[in-house]
Amino acid sequence: MRAVVQRVRTASVEVEGAVVGAIDRGLLVLLSAGDDDTAADVTVAIDKIAGLRIFPDAAGKMNLDVGAIGGAVLLVSQFTLHGDVRKGRRPSFIRAMAPEPAAAMVDDVANGLRSRGLTVAEGVFGANMQVHLVNDGPVTILIDTKRAF
């Protein structure tokens, strides 16, 4: 799985002009399942997202995770994170997981984060979404459960 994790002051996602998910302080997570991802990748993604220490402590050092600051997670599926542009300029999405199993994996990540006591808002899988955010820092972290980067 691949994720782009952004520390935010606020974030929301709209579908057809209606807000379907919104958070205040916390993490906006854009998440994609790859064609070779398994339940082990879901576990790694949950652990990394929930445990990512990118919020400042009293000394101003990035040392706290989203739960420690009472923050929330806005989880948005984004298969284009598996786009491959090594050849040409048009992305190939052959490495992205098929929609049905990918939706289940994204749900598993959301539920896993909830089981850690986190508040999780979500986008709508497969929908055309408009994501709004105020990136705090800015802080943006890339996660790949296969450790490709």
43 is catalytic: no
Catalytic residue among 6, 55, 78, 145: 78
Q: Could you tell me which of 148, 141, 34 has the C-alpha nearest to residue 83?
A: 34
Backbone angles phi, psi at 103, to 5 degrees: -60, -40
119 is catalytic: no
Q: Distance of CA 7 to CAs 13, 56, 93, 108, Å?
A: 15, 11, 27, 22
Q: Which two tokens stand for residue 142?
A: 């890339």
Catalytic residue among 80, 119, 130, 140: 80
130 is catalytic: no
Q: Which residues form the catalytic set?
A: 78-80
